[in-house]
Structure 1
């Protein structure tokens, strides 16, 4: 939908041109009646009347909002008059050229570059054709028109026409200026909105960072409490039950029951240790990411080939993100890749500090029509929290590749994603 200012300005130009055209019709009619009753002069008069009809149609297009089409037709309508005059009186061609050029310039606010180029090319083609035709095959009318008529045309009509077109250009320059100012104001508002959105995004990242840090700290606290509290209590219970079993008579039913109770307590200790390790493995905090991943691979039930490079320590939230993503990907392979699947886990650090990891399996691959499960969404969130991203691809021949990238650590870098439960899977 065009701007109202464009419709208003173009309509005003059409009305102004129509008023000038009526004056021109009156002048040509006087020449035809008092000076030269020629069919060619009558042709100019008829053309001027057609020009008025064309302007009425153009004004209707303006009111309907078709300003680009109206602007092109406005320029072409002027060619009706120019062609008729050039065919009859080619001597006035130099005086008409500025009028046509000015009219083309006045279409600038309404046309895109391609339409403007087409209009200029068409105007040049018509101008050259009419000018050449009028010179090579003159109609022989110019000698029939008194010299003072042509002089009056040049002295009176041309300045008036140029004045009208100049006024038209002046108002179109005002249109361009107004549109430019509107664009500048809109750009200023967009920049202000962009700054506000950037501030909100930064605050959102900081808020998510605090949530991640708090959640990981809570994981570590629960892991310590389980290790130092319930796990130690169960270990002590195992020792006491073992001592009681040793003291019971050999072959007694009580001794058998105590041994069974000791085994149950040992299983509880093992399960509690695995639970605590799943919440937040101590080796991740004490020895770093590479050692923690090696521990995960040793406990995996899959045949896993490790390509884990020795890397330096990273911010805790980055190490936690990569650790839980790799572990989640391996759990997904165990659950969904199918029997006989193998996996390869790679971890490396680029010279610029970019951290990259991948988990590739030889299983059945992902269903392309299936949306991402909770596990993949959680992995994406975790990596996005630390400025990284996750890529998941699956080959038609089978196998899935889960790869992540985290940019170099920077001072004050903090994770931003919501914490993912360790056992979540796709």
Structure 2
């Protein structure tokens, strides 16, 4: 029971971290929406023109204004000038949401001091609505629209309790209706930018050393985040090979990170349920509404690729599929593949997808997955060619590396036999002979791995065992105590695991050859989409920070990551490597 509770607690913590990670990604994207320096400059210039125009209009049409009434106009001009200067310098202030909320405050003061309900300057509220909608999206635009209506009503409520009430209601309704249309228009622009960003992201394939599986999983994660930025959507990819009939399934559940980039094998009967929908439908949308008053919104709708029209699909197939997938709404598209047939599903328990979402998903699938299929085919061809090359390299290793070490071992054995029992070099000769035997065994295992190829995956405990094996050899041969710490669950393919082990081997070799340290540590974890590796050694008074291990840096750079050297705890050296997953 205690182990089960610990496992459940770990799963809850992992799910919480995944949700927080998605929230950070959403916040980062929201910040990127308003971080366009060109937009900020254009909006700042228009704000300054609007402020000057308001001042000019007031001086011509309202010459009877008192001294107090002129203060908001001059204040708004100064405010617009300051924001414009910051925008020209691309300062962060000009790209903040606070600016259009300050605009609302100035507009409220201007309306309040120029007639309240009768003021023509209430039209200025539309500028703040436009800025919020076209730069920040639907939610921010809706908030600014409602705030504008409330502020306008509050500025004229004292004079609207008599005959001015109809004017207040008409203008407030006009402000709300036109603001609502602007908000929807702005949402379409922001959504278009998000779609372009997603198409750009799925077009940039991952590092080929990570394998095709990692690339496919990365695309599914991007789709899941795009359609459910708060971790509310799930993603399924089912494929069936046309030649062998083998079926695979990839699943990304809402609020969870994938445990492994590898696809799971499923029985053909289970795959048939997910592949049973008509292939001529470019996209299929299903949604069930909880309101009985809106039955027309519920049901399944399919987009025919030949006619380009949406038609309603009757029957219980989609309802049964929604119950099987435990989804309130889902969209599915067929994937245009040559060697296999497949379908991509996006599921949601809380939100309802739209027809535009389904069509865009079909566009993403048509662009990304055929390219991945071609890459996978080329990868198989390269693997076949590499298999033949491995056979040759294994023979070369045996002839050029293993045989000399065998000769060295025989020479050490002969030298050991000549030495008397009381010779002071006997212990050193025995140690060198044991080290040569160990190296020969390592070389033979390495040659066998080169000849036969490595496995597809290295679970976390296997990588941890290999790291501890390397640390044990360093302790045995050099007397340096190396602590190994692997945090979290590691699921990496053979290529990445081999690179990580080689980086660790190089780091340990640097500790043994270039320092006088007696202890060190290896720390490995996957967090925030990064594989983090840290190799530390204690201070010995001889280390210098004016260096960067060339081999480690080049390997990290080839994987799309980076390496750096920092002063560790107690004055020791810490080599830190970060590789994006």
TM-score by length of 2: 0.34
Of Structure 1 and Structure 2, the greater helix share is in 1
Larger radius of gyration: 1
Taking CA–CA contacts closer than 8 Å with sequence separation of 6 or more, which of the two structures ends up with the larger relative contact order?
1
TM-score by length of 1: 0.43
